[in-house]
Structure 1
Amino acid sequence: MNKSRLEAFSDGVIAIIITIMVLEIKTPHSAEWKDLLPLYPVALSYILSFIYVAIYWGNHHHLLHTVKKVTPSIIWANAHLLFWLSLIPFATAWMGENHFAAHTVVLYALFLMLVGGAFTILQFTIVKSNPYSPEMQVALKRQQRKALLSVTIYLVAIGTTFVNTAISGVLIFLVAVLWFIPDNNIAKALEA
């Protein structure tokens, strides 16, 4: 399989994930502004999830640019990532529909942690299958440190959910901020 086919399939799955999420926002049956107010938890969970899916799409794009040879293990590691990403719409809908109740936030954070773990597995699989320059190895190690920090924050978010879901929400958003700006080190290493 060539790299462009893997990218196209992944892009298609991610586009479907976003489409499924937006379909969970139900249109009010009246045209009054006040009728939009009850939708704020659903809209807020959608916005947060859209940001996360977009972050993973961007980082996935950068990571796949480093691939020289696609192997069966890369295909399966990529499918593993897409599996966990595909569960984000469910967790998003459940969390928004239930106004960020504790169990819904735990599941959401757990799924995000599993998506992060799957991304790390994909990265390790790609590194194992493709020889890299020392610059690229350094760039990928920096991402691994960020991934470890993210998992730690997710675990803290899960732990604080039963104390205060707002704190958990802030922690989950903090991870999104951490990854929001793509790491230019991979692009620089590719140019080297």
Structure 2
Amino acid sequence: MTKDRLLAFSDGVIAILITIMVLELDVPKGGHWSDLRDDLPVLLAYVVSFVYVGIYWTNHHHMLSIVHRVTGGALWANLHLLFWLSLVPFTTAWMSENDFQAAPVAAYGIDLLGCALAYFVLQGVLLRSEGPDSLLARAVGADRKGKASSVLCAGGIALTFVERWLGLAVYILVALLWFIPDRRVERTLAASDERLAD
């Protein structure tokens, strides 16, 4: 089965999620910069969530760019990832509209951890399908960054119950780790092209 429908569906869902998040933003009640003050927490939560959704979209795109086919298992694993991503607007709104209380911040972290684990599952399904000598296997390697992100996210959830701002800081740290685009796929493709050219 080709990957085109999976990519098109995923792109559509992610575009809708971003649209839902931006529709959650209320327009300030005045025309002065100071009128943004009350909406600043919601706006900042939107920015963090937008970055997270963008990170998943770009990494999903990179991963699937070197996959040759998808299996039924990959379709379900992709839906699993989209499920967790679809909760991002809900957990973002709950967290930001309730003054970043511990329970909503922890729920946001649980959602982020669910996204990370679902991405890991999708990656594993695709790796099994592509094989150990595939471009994807070479690009992923040991995936230290992906594993570390999940551990940090779990730690952030636990820290939220100690101090909610610490938990949120960990979630932002994880986003910053991934904000710089992951070049593993691009480097692997470039190396493969060089070998073919020789």
The TM-score, its normalising length taken from structure 2, stands at 0.90
- Identity of aligned pairs, percent? 47
Matches within 5 A, 1:22-171: 22-133=22-133, 136-143=136-143, 145-171=144-170
CA distance in 1, matches of 2:78, 2:136: 20
**Any stretches of 5+ residues in structure 1 without a counterpart?**
none
Q: Secondary structure at the match of 1:93?
A: helix
CA distance in 2, matches of 1:9, 1:136: 21
**Any stretches of 5+ residues in structure 2 without a counterpart?**
193-198
Deviation by residue 1:79-103 (Cα, 9 ceiling, x = unmatched): 1100100000000001110121111
CA distance in 1, matches of 2:136, 2:24: 40
Q: Which residue of 2 aligns with 1:3?
A: 3
State how many pairs are aligned. 191
1:7 deviates by: 0.8
Q: Which residue of 2 aligns with 1:172?
A: 171
Is the 8 Å Cα contact of residues 157 and 168 (structure 1) preserved in structure 2? yes
CA distance in 2, matches of 1:4, 1:148: 28
Q: Secondary structure at the match of 2:141?
A: helix
Query: Alignment RMSD, CA only?
Result: 1.5
Is the 8 Å Cα contact of residues 84 and 114 (structure 1) preserved in structure 2? yes
For 2:83, the aligned partner's letter is F
CA distance in 1, matches of 2:179, 2:32: 35
